Amino acid sequence: MSDTTATPAKGSDTKDTTSTGSDVSQNGSDTTPIQGDTPTVSSSNSKGDSSAVDADKSASSSPRDTAVQNGSKPAGSGSRTLQVDVGSIEEEDDATDSDDSNQYDSPQSSDSTSGQASTSGSSEDSPIQQTTISGTSGGSNPVQQTTISASGSEDSSFSAQSSASASSTSSTSAYSSTPGSNSVASASDSASNSQASSTEASDSAASAAASASSSSSSSSFTKVTRLGVRVQGDMPEWNAKHKRFVSSYYETFDQKYRAVLDTVNMASVEGALKYVQAECINASVITDCERKNSIKYVVFYQITIVQPTAAMEYYVNATDEHNFAVESCPFMSMDGGRCNPNEDGVFPDVCNQYIGAGGQPDLGFCVGGTLQDNEAIAPYPHNYWFSFPNSCPQELWDDKTDTCREKYAGGMCPVGVEPDGVTCTFTYEILGYILLDDVVGITSMVNPATGNKYADYKEFCEAGGVEFSVSIVSGVLSLLTGLLSTVVDLVEGLEFWANPGDSDANAERVEKLVSAYGALVSSNPATSDGGVMRALPTEDELAALNPSCYENSPLCAESEFGCKRSYLSQICQLCTSDDSGCEKP
């Protein structure tokens, strides 16, 4: 998916002024990201520039021999045949300033996802997800749930480590639309496909709602806590007073807090690198030695959600995760702080349902979730994309007036307020972040021209290095079945990105990402601006916080084998047998 996000101007009190930019899993592992070298992590705590990508500039070319010397992989590796089915917050007087650009939050970007695999080579917004995670933080982190009153000052749901040492052309990113950041996942081309499928899902859900059990209308949604990821160009900013990371854009704390997830998309941890791999790093999209959308940071989010009752009744029959997952509404691609309109300028039904517009029922600000696991260039298992609608969801950041936000209020909760599914739907906290350069191993490699390690991707690229260059060859496998045979080859690039068309290899990549973040937090959780990053909770720790799936889903309650929560995204999945973890009333 391709998404271009705008960055709001700093110092704006009433409006979010934007400029171009863009905005999208993990398994624990001790495997090092590249060539057996432990990635340098200290640079993750220093800010980098978050300038927007200049699409008009041509990418620097690099000699093949130099690329190989810099750890690039020769042609022919990583080929794989993939069959794809064609067919109210208090105003704070003291302002804090800092640089913060989100991979998923960008004022003018497109975040749409497509359920069909794309065989072309670049998409911009895709969340990342993986099947299981073990040892992600170098140790178990007991999770503590803090009940916070509206005036509370502590916002953390998980115990913090207090030690000071302590891709394809058509796809949209789940990360890419937050004011003031360049996000990793965006794909406007696939956004149209995504929105079309969302409309279909909405139509089918309407009939499903008519036959939905009346028990669902009388039951309230029990809050669910999950992890998500956004790949972005800006570094989160630490606010010492509130002890949390926020955006560096805008002036007041309330504005900075709101800017992070102000009608944007996000990916599951398991799918975090999908957007990067499919849309942002292929040699064909590199300009002026910058990755697409200037992505730099992988940011980990903890989100707590209480879905509106009306929406859960309407979308009760979540039988196909590619339409919408259990406990979710359909995914809605978002850019620049609003839903992406259709080609005719009309907003999709799913977006109209947030506020009861366009003849659609008023379902409330429902978080969307859709499985996105069949991208030919980056098939990441358990890759879910999520959409987070906030106040005034049909206006760009720059056009969101106070009047509009008050009229169409909902979505994100003010700091200290728990979601109830009526006045607000979700709250978030940034646990920490890591430089993508550290994860893939660039900062552990030596520049032969200087004898020193590369400072960042730009220096690596300017020295002739190629991070990722693939060829995609597609052919019709069967006219009767409508299947395509797609072969994805890593022609040249870093060993970290080897075998891009292989699902197992991609799952291992997520494990390396989680492992690298865990190593960083264990060795140096302190950030350059005084913040403290925290280890990721484990899948079991998250599950202990959350209700059984059948408590929120009649579908799970009535299923023969029930459902079970899976992955760091804590998605409820229908069980087909009496497996461990499956629960029913």
For 244-291, how does the pLDDT look when each residue is reduced to its tens digit (9 = 90+)?
A: 999 988 999 999 999 999 999 999 999 999 999 999 999 999 999 999
The pLDDT value recorded for residue 100 is 36
pLDDT in tens, 87-119: 333 434 443 333 333 333 333 333 333 333 333
**Do the beta carbons of residue 269 and residue 137 sit within 8 Å?**
no
**Do the beta carbons of residue 189 and residue 116 sit within 8 Å?**
no
The pLDDT value recorded for residue 45 is 46
Secondary structure of residue 222 in the 3-state scheme: coil
Rounded Cα–Cα distance for residues 445 and 36 (Å) = 11
Going from N- to C-terminal start, the domains of the chain cover 42-60+103-200+223-435+512-546
Closest CA to 317 of 556, 517, 533: 556
pLDDT in tens, 464-523: 999 999 887 776 655 566 665 677 777 889 999 999 999 999 999 999 999 999 999 999
pLDDT in tens, 222-245: 999 999 999 999 999 999 999 999
389 pLDDT higher than 90: yes
**Which residues touch 146 (CB under 8 Å, ≥6 apart)?**
154, 155, 156, 157
Minimum mean pLDDT range among 54-58, 232-236, 308-312:
54-58
Closest CA to 31 of 494, 516, 382, 503: 516
**Do the beta carbons of residue 223 and residue 419 sit within 8 Å?**
yes
How far does Cα 422 stand from its chain's mean position?
Answer: 25
Rounded Cα–Cα distance for residues 340 and 23 (Å) = 13
Tell me which long-range contacts 558-565 makes (C-beta under 8 A, separation of at least 24). 558/213, 559/584, 563/326
E strands, 183-339, in order: 224-232, 237-239, 244-246, 264-267, 297-305, 334-335, 338-339
Rounded Cα–Cα distance for residues 540 and 544 (Å) = 6
**Which residues touch 36 (CB under 8 Å, ≥6 apart)?**
none
Whole-prediction pTM: 0.68
Closest CA to 37 of 438, 533, 529, 468: 438
Burial class of residue 336 (count of CB atoms within 10 Å of its CB; 0-12, 13-18, 19+): buried
9 pLDDT higher than 60: no
The arithmetic mean of pLDDT across residues 284-301, rounded, is 96
E strands, 482-548, in order: 483-494
**Which residues touch 331 (CB under 8 Å, ≥6 apart)?**
113, 174, 194, 198, 265, 324, 368, 369, 370, 372, 385, 386, 387
Rounded Cα–Cα distance for residues 113 and 196 (Å) = 10
